[in-house]
Amino acid sequence: MLEIIDLVKKYDSGPLALDGVNLKIEAGDIIALIGPSGAGKSTLVRCINRLVEPTSGKIMLNGVDISSLNKKELREARKNIGMIFQEYALVERLSVMENVLSGRLASVSFWQSLRRNFPQKYISEALSLLDRVGLGDYVDTRADQLSGGQRQRVGIARALLQKPDLLLLDEPTASLDPKTARQIMRLVVDLVQEKNISAIINIHEVKLAELFTKRIVGLREGRIVYDEEAAKLDTDALTLIYGEEDWESERPAEDESE
């Protein structure tokens, strides 16, 4: 379980990026973070694994306060937190398999990682995940030869190879076309449910959040202003999160025949 308590992030200049955020996520929950640009969504996701250092507050994962750990303890805790980035964060010159196996670097010795000498168990698990994400035929393909959707699938496989308790996704569909974005969201939700792990998805596309998650959390100016079932998101809620707009004209009926 993840519990965020009174989380604050203040950068050197500008207003508070996070202003007393409180959030609880049970095992197996999948939530979407939505809100305007600058609302604090990416900051919140990155504070959870301390890619961004919080100013104050607590981040409790399975009873451990992530925000209070030293560097060695944090490296150990991060084994339980998978991360999928908008920009993929792959090593372009390495193969698909090598990129996926990098998800296990923290679990092997320095010399094993230097020589890319991974146990057969990890290799077998990586092959299974690549088959699951539809990239079984791309094991030896260099990352720089892949499309955006394929790169994101590599990132998903890499994160899941860690066998995390929590999966963080920071705008995973922002660089993808609409069809590929839907495919990636469907894949993520299916895999998270199969493996019974929790996931937080920072996403700009409100329709994708409604379609693929059961709970939506809205941020505005660093504060949570909405936390409800996705089915309850209406024009009043959108106004609360984003401000005044003619939301009905912006929300055409979804064509489910695709």
pLDDT(119) > 60 = yes
**Cβ atoms within 10 Å of 242's Cβ, excluding its own:** 17
pLDDT(115) > 70 = no
pTM metric for this prediction: 0.86
- The residue with greater pLDDT, 44 or 1, is 44
Are 70 and 136 spatial neighbours (Cβ–Cβ below 8 Å)? no
For the four alpha carbons of 129, 118, 155 and 2, in that order, the dihedral sign comes to positive
Instruction: Name all domains of the chain by residue range, CATH numbers in brackets.
Output: 2-246 (3.40.50.300)
- Cα–Cα distance, 33 to 41 (Å, whole number): 6
- The residue with greater pLDDT, 252 or 48, is 48
- Cα–Cα distance, 57 to 63 (Å, whole number): 15
Are 222 and 56 spatial neighbours (Cβ–Cβ below 8 Å)? no
Are 169 and 134 spatial neighbours (Cβ–Cβ below 8 Å)? no
Q: What percent of the chain has pLDDT over 90?
A: 60
Q: What is the pLDDT of residue 176?
A: 87
Give the pairing of strands 16-25 and 30-34: unpaired
For the four alpha carbons of 202, 208, 214 and 215, in that order, the dihedral sign comes to positive
Alpha-carbon separation of residue 22 from 5, 108, 164, 222 (angstroms): 5, 35, 22, 11
- Cα–Cα distance, 136 to 86 (Å, whole number): 22
- Cα–Cα distance, 245 to 23 (Å, whole number): 27
pLDDT digits (tens, 9 = 90+) for 176-233: 899 989 999 999 999 998 888 999 999 999 999 999 999 999 999 999 999 999 999 9
